[in-house]
Chains A and B, each alone.
Chain A
Amino acid sequence: MRLGLLLAAGLLAGCAPLKPVQPWEKGELARPQMTFDTDRLGSAYAEHTYSSKEGAAGGAGVGGGGCGCN
């Protein structure tokens, strides 16, 4: 938990630990599979089914309503 908080705090502060990546070096990063929010419908299904049978929920952002299933 403490390690997670430290990592999160470091990233939130925008501390890039390595040398800045230049635009012409970002070919690999531009691939669709490198984005964090691909397949929104699939992610919504997964989040809904997990949260209906577990105590924990959320974490990826804000928005979305409740339901009677949990």
Chain B
Amino acid sequence: MAAIKHSDAILLAALALPGVALAENPPEQASLSVSYLDYRDWQQNLDRIGVRSPSVELVLPLAGKWAVRGALVSDTISGASTRYHTAVSGASHFKEKRNAGDLSITRYFARASLTVDAGRSGENDYVSRFASVRGTVSSADNNTTWLAGIGVANDTINPVNLIVENERKHSTELMAGVTQVLTQRDLAQAVLTHVRGRGYFSMPYKYVDQRPREHDQDTILLRWNHAFGQHGVASRASYRYYRDSYGVRAHTWQEEVVTPLSNGWTLTPLARVYSQSAADFYFDPVYDRRLGPPFPPGFSFSDQRPRTADPRLAAFGALSLGLKVEKEIGRNASIDLRYERYRQRGAWRLFGTGSPGLLDFEARSIVLGLTVRW
């Protein structure tokens, strides 16, 4: 039989699938993916946090209408965290482990799907249990797919310094979205999410960190994938707007260009730009004259108003650049390596002024992955 060109094979596959070009089709093959993350970050040449994290994911199609997916991840985190602003004390050094896993089952219908997922994440001082239900429905021509979902998470916090005991955090997530085929080469997606959080949101190991017990978050995510033509080159662009009840407003733009080469190689350069405003209760590194650091001016121990010196709630911008290299090995396996460099600066905040006194923050991550299909 004459060999079928790769592009023809893709078109034939497209014609054969009822939900063509939309993600919610049953997987045709089982797959096992194994990944390993090596991450570290630093400030002014002082190493801060290092993470080593293997993970595994198994996807099994069942009877053409079902799929079961399970994933496990184990993080080993070590280093020194800041107590306030960028201050690191001898007591800040730590080493801890987090193990997490989730199991989901999906039922596929002619033009719809329903997924139920549940999981657990555990550390010695923090346990989270979560579950979600997600569904999709496609139009008769499969050019539009509507998405909806609800999720809950119940967290228990028992810090080793006993500053609180058996504190709880409960989150409810709602999501609605749509994926739309725009042209023969363009797919777009819009997703709205709302998270309602109640409970303990303070950081127990940071000084002078008192956060509201209500934390509501809203996001709009817009994604646009564009195929450039015969060679399989594709642009994957996204924009996310985020706002929360703390007063943080954030913009995230991301772009990656998937570039298939010969002999099964694919290169994917990526860039990400991020900018956020400060939380209403973040205070700059200016301290009370009498008490000194870490107390803000006018601080009183009986004052329970929200306040934080956590630089993650300051105003700043960030830029990351990365490259992913993939290699197909035969028909049913692939390996990939992703390198990313991340930089955060107060002066890089967009649409406003960054918080003063922030040290430049840098990170790099390397992810090695292997996927086998059968």
Residues of A in contact with B (beta carbons under 8 Å apart): 1, 4-5, 7-8, 11-12, 14, 16-18, 20-21, 23-31, 33-37, 39-42, 44-46, 49-50, 53-70
Contact A35 B23 (CB under 8 A): yes
- Of B83-91, B106-114, B180-188, B288-296, the one with at least 4 CB within 8 A of chain A: B180-188
Contact of A29 among B20, B55, B130 (CB under 8 A): B20
13 A-B pairs in the complex with CB atoms less than 8 angstroms apart? A7-B190, A8-B220, A16-B182, A28-B229, A33-B227, A34-B234, A39-B336, A44-B73, A49-B365, A55-B250, A56-B276, A58-B219, A62-B193
Q: Within the complex, which residue of A16, A62, A63, A66 is in contact with B155, where a contact is CB–CB below 8 Å? A: A66
Residues 176-207 of B, flagged 1 when their CB comes within 8 A of A and 0 if not, give 11111111110111111101000000000000
Asked whether, in the complex, the Cβ of A42 is within 8 Å of the Cβ of B23, the reply is: no
B184 touching A58, Cβ below 8 Å:
no
Whether the pair A30, B187 counts as a contact (CB closer than 8 A) is: no
Question: Given A1-B241, A33-B232, is A65 in contact with B187 using a C-beta cutoff of 8 Å?
Answer: no
B74 within 8 A of partner (CB):
no
Q: Which residues of A contact B180 (CB under 8 A)?
A: 11, 14, 16
CB within 8 Å of A: which B235-287 residues: 236, 239-242, 244, 246, 248, 250, 252, 258, 260, 274, 276, 279
Query: What residues of chain B lie closer than 8 Å to A68, measured between beta carbons?
Result: 96, 98, 123, 125-126, 157
Contact between B183 and A18, CB atoms less than 8 A apart? yes
Q: How large is the interface on B (under 10, 10 to 19, 20 to 34, 35 or more residues)?
A: 35 or more
CB atoms of B35 and A12 under 8 A apart: no
State whether A55 touches B276 (Cβ < 8 A): yes
Nearest to A19 among chain B residues (CB) is B183
> Given known contacts A23-B15, A37-B23, A63-B117, is B240 in contact with A56 (CB within 8 Å)?
yes
B17 contacts the other chain (CB 8 A): yes
Chain A residues whose C-beta falls within 8 Å of the C-beta of B177 in the assembled complex:
12
Q: For the complex, is B333 an interface residue (Cβ under 8 Å from A)?
A: no
Residue of B nearest to A24 (CB): B15
Q: Which of A23, A54, A62 contacts B173 (CB 8 A)?
A: A62
Verify B126–A23 contact, CB threshold 8 A.
no
Is A55 a contact of B279 with CB atoms below 8 Å?
yes
- Per the bound structure, the CA–CA distance linking A45 and B75 in Å amounts to 10
Chain B residues positioned under 8 Å from A39 (CB to CB): 336, 369
Nearest residue, chain B, Cβ from A17: B182
Q: Does B105 contact A (CB under 8 A)?
A: no
Complex contact B175–A62 (CB within 8 A): yes
Tell whether, in the assembled complex, residue B155 and residue A65 are in contact, meaning their CB atoms are under 8 Å apart: yes
- New contact pairs (11) apart from A16-B182, A46-B340, A55-B248, CB-CB < 8 Å: A4-B220, A23-B20, A26-B20, A27-B11, A29-B20, A40-B33, A41-B57, A63-B102, A65-B119, A66-B128, A66-B171
